[in-house]
């Protein structure tokens, strides 16, 4: 009997991972599945390559990374078309994703020396005879486990920073998008052919587990909260440090003085782009009573115009991971069963491999559609008394990745109160493309940061050095000190620190 394979579901055939398009089932590529020994060898090659790469210094790495950036810019359409071929993402969406990735490569390359390079630190009076120095040294090899929903931007947001910091990278792309992951590795090898500084290993979750246990210096993971816990547990066995960017259930708050047209436009984009398959996608909206009805009407007008399909020009493509469709279906069904209403879409919107835009109102706060990550083109819009009520509801879930606030007078104050790693004011999702800002979450959304100065520091170990520059006037750290010298130290401490201001 011939096995039946669902389009988009990764499968193993004769030791190869087979990747297919979730809408058409067309094959996107085949890649050798890595064994534990293969992973170990890749890490060992990475150690040797990393020594050479680190030896290039910041200037040498910058020059190579900028050449990689230029190659991606020249071939951006090719990369976007591959994302469409493998994951079903509309080409226009894939181009926007690649633009952000290119920007992150550029910023990391240009700023690594400033953030991580050796610098002299100020000494303090108690140890004035010593100078202080700080630098950030690479981990050697960083293991990167990437997601399928943004297979270019998200991994590059770690990979570029790890490379700029002087590390080699062993990358395990999602089994749903191995072709895109391999393309990134191959493109880098075209500008850095000397050593395998950036390698890919392919397979299912067991390959990621092998990478966690392979002795890499650090693991950076992006994916679901459930898998993040498994990654952390595997890394804990060897005390391998981890950077975890997990799920989200981001909220948008619409205050009474918001520009409703702009809020509705941003809401539809932030909630439905990439068919809602976005960790920082807006899934919950809280609109205050005075503007609720008008806001919902404007959202429906825009969301109702979106097109869904595999053809050129479609706004929303298929659901990349087939199993996610049942989660989306369950959330919609549960919301309606508990008294919610679908004012757009609804249960009939679930038409595998697609889900049409669905807007739900009057959904209870304890329902799955409000509490759990849906990862589909659905939005719950809830009427709230005021901004305080909205903040309390937004913060009531265990996730804390991003969020959005639309308003004027109180928008900044509201954004600061959101329990999240990032907030956007009068926009949605914009912080992910801002290379100068750190990106990451709290709670069930993980910990650690990529992007910005903090993102660079995640991929370097701080190394502190003190150096004697003269004799000790008040020797403290020696058994040769005298009682009189200890007495002078006591007087100095009281003089310096004995006041309360």
pLDDT, tens digit (0-9, with 9 covering 90-100), for 256-298 = 999 999 999 999 999 999 999 999 999 999 999 999 999 999 9
Catalytic, out of 245, 283, 372, 458: 245
Report yes or no: 456 and 161 within 8 Å, Cβ to Cβ.
Answer: yes
> What is the mean pLDDT of the segment spanning 119-143?
94
State which of 124-133, 371-380, 486-495 shows the largest mean pLDDT. 371-380
pLDDT confidence band for 2 (50 / 70 / 90): very low
- Kindly state the tokens that stand for 393: 């509801």
Q: What's this model's pTM, rounded to 2 decimal places?
A: 0.96
pLDDT confidence band for 37 (50 / 70 / 90): very high
Rounded (10°) CA dihedral 222, 226, 228, 229 = 180
Rounded to whole angstroms, the Cα distance separating 180 from 85 reads: 10
> What is the mean pLDDT of the segment spanning 372-390?
98
Q: Which helix (H) or strand (E) holds 379?
A: strand 378-384
Report yes or no: 62 and 111 within 8 Å, Cβ to Cβ.
Answer: no
Report yes or no: 162 and 67 within 8 Å, Cβ to Cβ.
Answer: no
Q: What pLDDT shows up at residue 414?
A: 98
Q: Which residue from 184, 176, 212, 215 is spatially nearest to 200, judged by alpha carbons?
A: 184
Q: Can 235 be counted among the known catalytic residues?
A: no
Residue 273 carries which DSSP code? Answer: G
What is the largest distance, in Å, between two alpha-carbon atoms of the chain? 92
Is pLDDT of 311 > 90?
Answer: no
Positive or negative, the CA dihedral 189, 193, 198, 203 is positive
Neighbour tally for 1: CB within 10 Å: 3
pLDDT, tens digit (0-9, with 9 covering 90-100), for 426-446 = 999 999 999 999 999 999 999
Rounded to whole angstroms, the Cα distance separating 287 from 291 reads: 7
Catalytic, out of 212, 235, 267, 279: 279
Positive or negative, the CA dihedral 21, 24, 29, 34 is positive
Better pLDDT: 379 or 128: 379
Identify the residue whose tokens are 């708050």: 253
pLDDT, tens digit (0-9, with 9 covering 90-100), for 397-418 = 999 999 999 999 999 999 999 9
- Kindly state the tokens that stand for 98: 């690649």
Report yes or no: 353 and 256 within 8 Å, Cβ to Cβ.
Answer: no
Q: Can 289 be counted among the known catalytic residues?
A: no
pLDDT confidence band for 4 (50 / 70 / 90): low
């Amino acid at each position: 009997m011939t096995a039946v394979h669902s389009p988009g579901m990764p499968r193993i055939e004769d030791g190869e991972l087979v990747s297919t398009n979730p809408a058409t089932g067309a094959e996107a590529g085949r890649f050798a599945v890595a064994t534990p020994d293969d992973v170990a060898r890749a890490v060992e090659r990475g150690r040797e390559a990393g020594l050479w790469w680190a030896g290039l210094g910041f200037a040498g790495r910058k020059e190579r990374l900028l050449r990689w950036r230029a190659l991606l810019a020249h071939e951006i359409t090719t990369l976007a078309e591959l994302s469409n071929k493998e994951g079903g993402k509309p080409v226009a969406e894939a181009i926007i994703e690649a633009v952000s990735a290119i920007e992150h490569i550029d910023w990391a390359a240009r700023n690594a020396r400033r953030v991580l390079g050796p610098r002299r630190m100020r000494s303090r009076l108690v140890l004035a005879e010593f100078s202080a120095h700080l630098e950030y040294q690479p981990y050697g090899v960083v293991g990167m486990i990437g997601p399928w929903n943004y297979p270019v931007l998200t991994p590059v947001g770690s990979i570029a920073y790890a490379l700029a910091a002087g590390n080699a990278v062993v990358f395990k792309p999602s089994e749903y998008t191995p072709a895109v992951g391999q393309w990134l590795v191959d493109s880098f090898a075209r500008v850095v052919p000397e050593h395998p500084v950036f390698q890919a290993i392919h397979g299912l979750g067991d390959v990621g587990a092998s990478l966690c246990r392979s002795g890499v210096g650090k693991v950076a993971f992006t994916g679901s909260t459930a898998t993040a816990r498994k990654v952390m547990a595997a890394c804990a066995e060897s005390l391998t440090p981890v950077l975890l960017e997990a799920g989200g259930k981001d909220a948008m708050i619409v205050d009474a003085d918001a520009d409703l047209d702009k809020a509705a436009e941003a809401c539809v984009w932030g909630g439905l782009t990439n068919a809602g398959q976005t960790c920082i996608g807006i899934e919950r909206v809280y609109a205050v009573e005075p503007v609720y009805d008008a806001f919902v009407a404007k959202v429906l007008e825009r969301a109702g115009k979106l097109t869904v399909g595999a053809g050129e020009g479609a706004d929303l493509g298929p659901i990349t991971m087939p199993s996610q469709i049942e989660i989306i279906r369950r959330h919609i069904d549960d919301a309606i069963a508990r008294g919610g209403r679908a004012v757009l879409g609804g249960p009939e919107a679930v038409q595998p491999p697609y889900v049409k835009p669905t807007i739900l109102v009057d959904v209870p706060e304890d329902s799955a559609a409000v509490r759990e990550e849906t990862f589909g083109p659905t939005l719950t819009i809830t009427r709230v008394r005021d901004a305080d009520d909205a903040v309390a509801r937004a913060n009531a879930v265990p996730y804390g990745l991003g969020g959005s606030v639309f308003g004027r007078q109180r928008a900044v104050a509201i954004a600061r109160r959101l329990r999240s790693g990032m907030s956007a004011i009068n926009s949605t999702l914009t912080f992910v493309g801002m290379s100068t800002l750190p990106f990451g979450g709290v709670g069930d959304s993980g910990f650690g940061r990529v992007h910005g100065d903090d993102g660079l520091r995640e991929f370097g170990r701080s190394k502190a050095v003190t150096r004697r520059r003269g004799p000790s006037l008040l020797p403290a750290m020696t058994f040769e000190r005298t009682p009189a010298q200890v007495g002078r130290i006591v007087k100095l401490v009281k003089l310096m620190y004995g006041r309360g201001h």
